[in-house]
Amino acid sequence: MLTALGPGFAPDDFGPPWANKPAEAPEPDNQTAVSPEELRRLHRMISNRQSARRCRMRRQRHVEELRARASTLRSENRGLADRLAGLAHRCLLVRLDNHRLRAEASVLRRRLADLRLRHHHYYYHHHKQVSYSGGYFLGSN
């Protein structure tokens, strides 16, 4: 039976023990008393049912909390995956730019070496002419 009290519970489960007896059962009178052991057993049974119900409710809350946490973690994971993809793309762009800059630096180094060689050749050739011609080197013209 499924009630608002939970599965397996009837509203009468939480009433006094003699209220759960079938309608045909004779009414207890002063001469027919329920033994103390029977009362303890019934009380323990009711207490156990209530405890089991509380346990099921706690377990259900825990499961709901775990589901909510799993959903949050999935969402965070998607966000981190998106961020990682963005960073990987940025890393690729930086590597490509780095490669381009290294190639450009290599070209510039070759040009600088060529300019130095031309300058050295020009200076050496011009200085040699001045010293062989017997002229005076007065510095730059």
Residues in the chain: 141
Between CA 43 and CA 67 the distance in angstroms is 36
**pLDDT for 99-112, tens place per residue?**
999 999 999 999 99
pLDDT range class, residue 129, cuts 50, 70, 90: low
Q: What is the pLDDT of residue 26?
A: 53
Q: What percent of the chain has pLDDT over 90?
A: 60
Q: Which residues contact 10 (CB under 8 A, 6 or more apart)?
A: 1, 3
CB of 6 within 8 A of CB of 53?
yes
Instruction: Give the predicted TM-score (pTM) of the model.
Output: 0.48
Q: What is the mean pLDDT of residues 60-70?
A: 99
Is the separation of the CB atoms in 20 and 12 below 8 Å? yes
pLDDT at 126: 74
Mean pLDDT of the chain: 82
